[in-house]
């Protein structure tokens, strides 16, 4: 595909359940990012993968959040024991290496925790 | 820590009016600066970016931005807006190092009335 894809597009879950969100980056992009967009909060950085380096997890809000990137491509963001405050749009982006390169964003996954 | 301020949360303009959206950042080092736009129902996409050279940057759809280092500002401008410019605009910054996470402002919602 030409762009970053994410699945599912919408996820409704009950408080306390675990969820997995998937991101397929643009082929050849070595850097992958997860952001969260909450109502009125703007976009908040969560985690960043660059090649085979250890990920930068400094933005993860709690230990309920984790992410992995398998084979340098697809990434999964997992939220355990979801809480209502986790409701947001989760955005994935990818880019070539180097900080000035454009990050290409996916359509996001809208997570609603009831 | 870096932060980005967008002073205008909502802007309403008539077609053909001029636009200026403010963006200020706090970081003492060398930065890359970006403006992203999110049209209704669409992905975030890059409008323009600055990483070195001419501080007046031109982007897509007639937008431009000026980096004023002494003011830590990167304001977005367009001389004559169109109805199709109705969208949410985000200013973002990252460090000009290997650390690539973007720090976003909270966004400005622009409504252009025909």
* Residue B29: band (very low, low, confident or very high) from pLDDT cuts 50, 70, 90: confident
Binary contact (A102, B104; C-beta < 8 A): no
- Is residue A1 over pLDDT 60? no
- Cα torsion at B27, B28, B29, B30 (round to 10°)? 70
pLDDT of residue B98: 61
Question: CB of A102 within 8 Å of any CB in chain B?
Answer: yes
For residues A23-30, average pLDDT: 93
Pair of tokens at residue A69:
């990137």
Question: CB of A105 within 8 Å of any CB in chain B?
Answer: yes
For B106, the closest chain A residue by CA position comes to: A42
pLDDT of residue B101: 84
More confident residue, A40 or B59: B59
* Residue B107: band (very low, low, confident or very high) from pLDDT cuts 50, 70, 90: very high
- Is residue A35 over pLDDT 80? yes
Closest CA to A104 of A92, A113, A112, A86: A92
* Residue A24: band (very low, low, confident or very high) from pLDDT cuts 50, 70, 90: very high
For B105, the closest chain A residue by CA position comes to: A42
Binary contact (A43, B104; C-beta < 8 A): yes
- Is residue B75 over pLDDT 90? yes
Binary contact (B43, A48; C-beta < 8 A): no
What is the residue-averaged pLDDT of chain A?
92
Q: Which residues of A touch B34 (CB under 8 A)?
A: 102
- Cα torsion at B73, B74, B77, B83 (round to 10°)? -110
């Amino acid at each position: 595909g030409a762009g970053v894809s994410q699945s599912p597009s919408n996820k409704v879950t009950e408080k306390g359940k675990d969820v997995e969100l998937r991101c397929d980056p643009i082929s050849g992009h070595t850097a992958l990012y997860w952001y969260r967009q909450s109502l009125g909060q703007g976009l908040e950085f969560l985690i960043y993968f660059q090649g085979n380096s250890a990920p930068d997890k400094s933005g993860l809000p709690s230990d309920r959040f984790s992410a992995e990137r398998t084979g340098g491509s697809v990434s999964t963001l997992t939220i355990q024991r979801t809480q209502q405050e986790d409701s947001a749009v989760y955005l994935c982006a990818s880019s070539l290496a180097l900080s000035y390169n454009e990050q290409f964003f996916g359509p996001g996954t809208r997570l609603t925790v009831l | 820590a870096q932060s980005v301020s967008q002073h205008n949360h909502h802007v309403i303009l008539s077609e053909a009016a001029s636009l200026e959206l403010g963006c200020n950042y706090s970081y003492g080092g060398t930065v890359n600066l970006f403006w992203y736009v999110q049209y209704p129902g669409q992905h975030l996409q890059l409008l323009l970016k600055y990483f070195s050279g001419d501080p007046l940057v031109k982007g897509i759809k007639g937008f431009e931005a000026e980096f004023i280092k002494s003011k830590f500002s990167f304001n977005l401008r367009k001389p004559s807006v169109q109805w199709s410019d109705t969208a949410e605009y985000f200013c973002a910054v990252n460090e000009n190092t290997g650390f690539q996470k973007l720090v976003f402002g909270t966004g400005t919602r622009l409504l252009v009335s025909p």
